[in-house]
Amino acid sequence: MQKEIDCFLELTDKLLPISDKEWEEHKWQCYTFFSKHNQNGDLLKHKFYNIENRGPPAGASDCPAYVKYAKAVKRKIIDDADGSTRSFEAEY
């Protein structure tokens, strides 16, 4: 399970999805590695933010490495979105 989480986060870091369209593209990259999981872009986005929003386990003073990595990826996504020159069609 940890290997899947690490791979998922690496793929997210590589793509840095901002829009729903990009999360859908991310789905296809994940499908290559995790074909047994039938997930869509919204589920992947939810999964990422669920990992990113975790804190340290009870009684621990520090977050697990994969949570720190997810938080770093989120910062990259925010930075990419702030300086984005991508052109997206309105998502309705």
List own/partner pairs for 48-55 with CB under 8 A and 24 or more apart: 48/8, 48/9, 48/12, 48/73, 48/74, 49/74, 51/5, 51/9
User: Per-10-residue mean pLDDT for the chain, 92 residues long?
Assistant: 87 92 86 68 88 88 92 92 57 42
Neighbours of 77 (CB within 10 A): 19
Of 19, 16, 18, residue with least CA distance to 90: 19
State if pTM tops 0.95. no
**Any idea how long the chain is?**
92
**pLDDT recorded at residue 60:** 84
CA distance 38 to 30: 10
**pLDDT recorded at residue 50:** 93
